[in-house]
């Protein structure tokens, strides 16, 4: 409509039709602005930018310059649109966090399994979680044992073994076993729900600049309107000057005083920062954070998935008792072909890279929290952690196992009921640019800290690997670090 007005008024010299097009554009985009401005005056007795824009636009049309009024209204509405866009994007991000947890839970009531919405589950009730399902609520294990993928709330790449009396978090994934939980918290009190609440609250906060503009407008708008009135009324009334000339000058003051640049610049900058960061995989929880970045003195990195690739990779393959490294990979990958465990997927990737042919498996069995068993060419093999191989004499190999574990690696032991065939070591590898990033921050005088749920030994080993790459990095264990003041 605005473009049509420009074409009619300037291009075809059809002034009246052009003004009608400008008026249509103003009413369309300015409806909410005019409504809020009048509401502020009538109901709240307050003069804000909305009423200033409304008066300026009305005055522009009154003196025959509708293009000025339409331009002012259009620019101001663009600023509001960008603010609305940022709010919608924030709500979308919060909604994505909520999707971490399932909407329903299987509850044991009167000896039967009943599917109910998580909001209807009371604290103390027992919930059933089958293999491949997400944990619906925070709770404690009362029956069963399984490996649980806690990557969503904690970032850990390797599933953690959960057994009776262990705590579970909503949004984590039960990988392989059957679990029964006693609910400890209602759906709106879980760890994930608390994260959502914090993010939502942070995104509603205005930046210091936006807050300043709001305060400034409380004084600026009444002052500008008062000055326009002084320019318009006293000269004709007291000095007998032409009323149309001074009315025009008063309206000019109103139009040029509309703070469109101030109103647009902040939301445009904030939205640009948020969207650009999002495209690069960085979630910023509010515009006020962007304004504070210039004062940053310490940067805290999560380890898994941020400093590291976020998934385990095979680092060591050791053949034992005459078994070759290729055969070790073949046995482990063949047993793990039916498993979705991240460790099995990493071994499968190693087999693919080494062009290893997998063998058919019979009598396959998954032992929750321990590993896998199955028959290959009629011989029963196992692949799992050391607890799965208790019947095999591991004393001669304890030094090998301890060495790999001291290097912060996850072990997969492969063998039969009578002997070990080999061991595979896996580790979450640092990202290619992690060390360079930490070093670049250090060169700017910014301290870097790693926040990790790993044990102290694993954290120290990772820090040592960074030190070898000339990157300074402190670390803070989630179980020991007080982050309440961060």
More confident residue, 396 or 355: 355
Report the pLDDT value the prediction gives residue 194, as an integer from 0 to 100: 80
Report the pLDDT value the prediction gives residue 390, as an integer from 0 to 100: 64
pLDDT in tens, 185-244: 998 888 878 877 776 666 566 667 777 777 777 788 888 889 989 998 999 988 888 888
Residue-range domains of the chain with CATH: 2-95+204-274 (no CATH), 104-189 (2.70.150.10), 311-426 (3.40.1110.10)
Residue 48 designated active-site: no
Q: Is 371 left (phi over 0), alpha (psi -120 to 50) or beta?
A: left
Distant-in-sequence, close-in-space partners of 449: CB < 8 Å, separation ≥ 6: 298, 299, 300, 301, 473, 474, 475, 476
Distant-in-sequence, close-in-space partners of 148: CB < 8 Å, separation ≥ 6: 135, 159, 160, 161, 162, 168, 172, 173, 174, 175
Distant-in-sequence, close-in-space partners of 290: CB < 8 Å, separation ≥ 6: 207, 269, 270, 273, 274, 284
Q: Look at residues 422, 390, 431, 420 and name the one whose alpha carbon lies nearest to residue 404.
A: 422
Catalytic residue among 302, 316, 428, 432: 302
pLDDT in tens, 40-80: 888 877 777 788 888 888 888 888 888 888 988 898 888 77
Q: Look at residues 182, 184, 180 and name the one whose alpha carbon lies nearest to residue 143.
A: 180
Q: What percentage of the chain exceeds 70 in pLDDT? A: 86
Q: Which two tokens stand for residue 382?
A: 């196992």
Q: Look at residues 242, 271, 392 and name the one whose alpha carbon lies nearest to residue 321.
A: 392
> Partners of 381 in the beta sheet?
374
| In the predicted structure, residue 148 carries a pLDDT above the cut 90 | no
Buried b (16+ CB within 10 A) or exposed e, 61-71: bebebbbbbbb
Question: How far apart are alpha carbons 219 and 311 in whole angstroms?
Answer: 56
Report the pLDDT value the prediction gives residue 126, as an integer from 0 to 100: 93
Question: How far apart are alpha carbons 391 and 323 in whole angstroms?
Answer: 19
More confident residue, 458 or 121: 121
Report the pLDDT value the prediction gives residue 277, as an integer from 0 to 100: 77
Sheet containing 160-162, strands listed edge to edge, beginning at the edge strand earlier in sequence: 160-162, 146-149, 173-174
Contact 224, 52 (CB under 8 A): yes
Global pTM value: 0.54
Average pLDDT over every residue of 111-135? 91
Q: Which two tokens stand for residue 230?
A: 């002084």
pLDDT band of residue 375 (cuts 50, 70, 90) is: very high
């Amino acid at each position: 409509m605005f473009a049509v007005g420009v074409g009619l008024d300037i291009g075809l010299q059809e002034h009246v039709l052009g003004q009608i097009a400008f008026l249509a554009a103003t009413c369309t985009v300015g409806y909410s602005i005019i409504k809020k401005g009048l509401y502020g005056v009538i109901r709240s007795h307050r003069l804000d930018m909305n009423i200033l824009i409304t008066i300026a636009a009305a005055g522009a049309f009154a003196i025959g310059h509708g293009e000025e009024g339409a331009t002012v209204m259009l620019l101001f509405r663009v600023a509001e649109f960008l603010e609305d866009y940022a709010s919608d994007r924030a709500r979308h991000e919060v909604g994505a966090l909520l999707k971490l947890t399932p909407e329903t839970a299987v509850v044991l009531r009167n000896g039967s399994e009943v599917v109910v919405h998580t909001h209807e589950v009371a604290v103390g009730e027992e919930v059933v979680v089958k293999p491949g399902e997400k944990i619906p609520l925070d709770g404690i294990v009362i029956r069963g044992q399984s490996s649980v993928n806690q990557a969503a709330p904690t970032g850990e790449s390797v599933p953690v073994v959960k057994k009776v009396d262990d705590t579970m978090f909503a949004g984590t994934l039960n990988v392989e076993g059957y679990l029964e939980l006693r609910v400890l918290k209602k759906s709106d009190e879980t760890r994930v729900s608390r994260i959502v609440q914090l993010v939502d609250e942070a995104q509603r906060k205005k930046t210091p600049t936006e807050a300043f503009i709001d305060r400034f407008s409380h004084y600026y708008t009444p002052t500008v309107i008062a000055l326009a009135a002084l320019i318009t009324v006293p000269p004709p009334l007291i000095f007998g000057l032409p009323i149309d000339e001074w009315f025009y000058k008063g309206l000019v003051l109103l139009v040029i005083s509309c703070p469109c640049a101030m109103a647009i610049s902040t939301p445009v900058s904030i939205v640009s920062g948020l969207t650009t960061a999002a495209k690069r995989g960085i979630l910023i929880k509010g515009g006020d954070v962007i304004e504070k970045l210039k004062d940053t003195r310490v940067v805290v990195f999560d380890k898994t998935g941020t400093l590291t690739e976020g998934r385990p990779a095979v680092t060591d393959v050791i053949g034992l008792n005459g078994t070759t490294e290729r055969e070790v990979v073949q046995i482990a990958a063949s047993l793990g072909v039916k498993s979705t465990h991240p460790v099995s997927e990493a071994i499968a990737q190693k087999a693919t890279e080494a062009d290893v042919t997998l063998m058919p498996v019979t009598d396959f069995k998954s032992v929750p929290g321990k590993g896998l068993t199955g028959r290959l060419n009629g011989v029963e093999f196992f692949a799992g952690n050391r607890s799965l191989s208790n019947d095999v004499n591991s004393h001669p190999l304890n030094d090998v196992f301890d060495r790999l574990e001291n290097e912060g690696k996850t072990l997969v032991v492969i063998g039969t009921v009578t002997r070990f065939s080999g061991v595979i070591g896996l580790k979450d590898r640092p990202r290619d640019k992690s060390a360079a990033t930490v070093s670049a921050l250090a060169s700017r005088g910014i301290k870097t800290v790693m926040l990790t749920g790993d044990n102290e030994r694993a954290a120290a080993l990772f820090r040592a690997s960074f030190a070898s790459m000339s990157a300074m990095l402190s670390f803070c264990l989630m179980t020991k670090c007080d982050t309440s003041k961060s």
